[in-house]
Amino acid sequence: MSFDLRAFRDTLGCFATGVCIASAMGKDGRPVGLTVNSFTSVSLDPPLVLFCLDNRSESLSSFLDAPGFALSILSADQMALSNSFARDPAATRWDGVGAVPGKGGAPLIPGALAVLDCAHHATYPGGDHTILVGRVLGYAHQPGAPLLYYRGGYAALANGQG
Ligand SMILES: Cc1cc2nc3c(=O)[nH]c(=O)nc-3n(C[C@H](O)[C@H](O)[C@H](O)COP(=O)(O)O)c2cc1C
């Protein structure tokens, strides 16, 4: 059976999402982070969330070795951060961000619409990605509008509301 990867990706892109930065503290004391839109809430009791990490990610081992990770849900005005954490070399992504450590030690993005601070709960194989499930230790949110991602590009709420 032939499988048209481009058409598959275009189909997945029809699901509008928010945009997060997933982050963790590396063993060497350096933060790691990347832009993700695979964030999903999983369970309320216990409080669990997940994201999917490409097995080719430079940060994979740091995420797997860390006691936890954080997800910072980006605001509409944080598109530049989203691009930086998707494209810039890992070593320079945190320059000037002013990250603050969460309860689990993972760096949180200032100005994010919401943050979820997680302890490592479980890891599952997911094809060419690894599914990381975190148990939420702390969370916070603030008023504002989210950064959205849809059909391969950024989008905003039509009413501009938060
Ligand atoms: C909107 C958006 C969503 C993304 N979602 C994911 C994702 O869920 N998982 C993932 O592994 N990469 C995702 N990426 C790609 C990574 O951000 C990108 O490949 C990054 O360079 C990986 O860095 P690393 O190798 O340091 O981990 C996304 C990129 C963008 C722009």
Is the CB of 108 within 6 Å of ligand 1? no
Burial (Cβ within 10 Å: 0-12, 13-18, ≥19) of residue 74: buried
The pLDDT value recorded for residue 13 is: 98
Consecutive H or E run containing 5? helix 5-12
Query: Encoding tokens for residue 43?
Result: 């369970």
Compute the distance from residue 32 Cα to the ligand 1 centre, in Å.
12
The response to whether residue 100 sits with its C-beta less than 6 Å from ligand 1 reads no
Residue 83 in this model has a pLDDT that exceeds 90: yes
Per-residue model confidence (pLDDT) at position 1: 54
The pTM of the full predicted model, rounded to 2 decimals, is: 0.97
β-pair partners for 125: 130
Q: How far is the CA of 142 from the centre of ligand 1 (A)?
A: 24
What is the chain's mean pLDDT, rounded?
96
Mutation to probe ligand 1, out of 21, 35, 88 (largest number of atoms < 8 A from CB): 35
pLDDT tops 90 at residue 47: yes
Span 45-60, average pLDDT: 98
85-143 pLDDT, tens per residue?
Answer: 999 999 899 999 999 999 889 999 999 999 999 999 999 999 999 999 999 999 999 99
Closest approach atom of ligand 1 to CA 53? 11
Q: Check if 126 has its Cβ closer than 6 Å to any atom of ligand 1.
A: no
pLDDT band at 162; cut points 50, 70, 90: low
80 against 103, higher pLDDT: 80
- 54 CA distance to ligand 1 centroid (A)? 7
